[in-house]
Amino acid sequence: MGSRNTLLRGAPTDEVGRSCPLVDQQAMAFVERYHGTIRWCINAYTIPHHDRSEVYQRICIRVLLRFRRLGAVSADAVSWRYMLSIARSCCLKYLAEQRRTASPQSDVMERLASSVESVQEWLERREANDRLHIAVAMLPPMSSAVMNEVLRGLTNMEIAILLDLSPDEVKTITHRARTQLRKHLTR
């Protein structure tokens, strides 16, 4: 799971490949420094293995946006606690989302057992959903973050507030990401 699989992989650059500001480099170094703390928190909250990289990426994005908004965190004792609180809140938010979206298995099985055709349709929708989420994860970091929020059903204004962007930036990122997804999924 390491930071090599996240938003902050490699030398900090934006979607076009231009160098990011010094603050982004500081955010990357901060996440690298507290990588063990992040992994410990994700393990402590028993996040499923298939979703750990998504939670790790959410933590990285939150740190990056915080650094862009307020600058670097200075003191070691404070920064360790700060990273732990970010990781904890992201894990708890993820678990709450999972509880909200999960339906009881018995109810799903009863509905699917009504006809073989509906089971086949459900499996096809499930496979399409998995392909979509894999394609979204392969997008550039900010595009992936925006598209995850779009898939959750948020409006451009809500995403702009959440990710500290302008609504026009969200619209542009969403349009470009949809174009990339369309190309990737129609191959």
CATH assignment of the domain containing 59: 1.10.1740
Considering the domain architecture, whether residues 61 and 114 belong to the same structural domain is answered as no
Considering the domain architecture, whether residues 20 and 31 belong to the same structural domain is answered as yes
| Domain boundary residue, one of 81, 102, 123 | 102
Tens-digit pLDDT profile for residues 125-135: 888 888 888 88
pTM of the model: 0.46
- What's the number of domains the chain is made of? 2
Considering the domain architecture, whether residues 86 and 121 belong to the same structural domain is answered as no
Task: Work out the pLDDT band at 184, boundaries 50, 70, 90.
Answer: confident
Considering the domain architecture, whether residues 82 and 138 belong to the same structural domain is answered as no
Q: How far apart are CA 8 and CA 64, in angstroms?
A: 9
Q: Which residues contact 58 (CB under 8 A, 6 or more apart)?
A: 90, 93, 94
Considering the domain architecture, whether residues 66 and 110 belong to the same structural domain is answered as no
Considering the domain architecture, whether residues 95 and 109 belong to the same structural domain is answered as no
More confidently predicted of 116 and 5: 116
Q: Which residues contact 143 (CB under 8 A, 6 or more apart)?
A: 15, 173, 176, 177, 180
Considering the domain architecture, whether residues 93 and 153 belong to the same structural domain is answered as no
Supply the mean pLDDT for the chain. Answer: 78
Interval 45-74 mean pLDDT = 83
Considering the domain architecture, whether residues 168 and 88 belong to the same structural domain is answered as no
Look-up of token digits 């392969």: 138
Helix (H, G, I), strand (E, B) or coil at 125: helix
Considering the domain architecture, whether residues 15 and 80 belong to the same structural domain is answered as yes
Range(s) of the domain holding residue 84? 1-102
Q: Which residue, 12, 16, 4, 137, is CA-closest to 64?
A: 12
Q: What percentage of the chain reaches a pLDDT higher than 90?
A: 9
For residue 29, the model assigns a pLDDT of 85
pLDDT at 33 over 50: yes
For residue 9, the model assigns a pLDDT of 43
Task: Work out the pLDDT band at 122, boundaries 50, 70, 90.
Answer: confident
Q: Which of 2-11, 58-67, 158-167 has the lowest mean pLDDT?
A: 2-11
Q: What percentage of the chain reaches a pLDDT higher than 70?
A: 77
Task: Work out the pLDDT band at 103, boundaries 50, 70, 90.
Answer: low
| Domain boundary residue, one of 49, 82, 102 | 102
Q: How far apart are CA 13 and CA 21, in angstroms?
A: 9
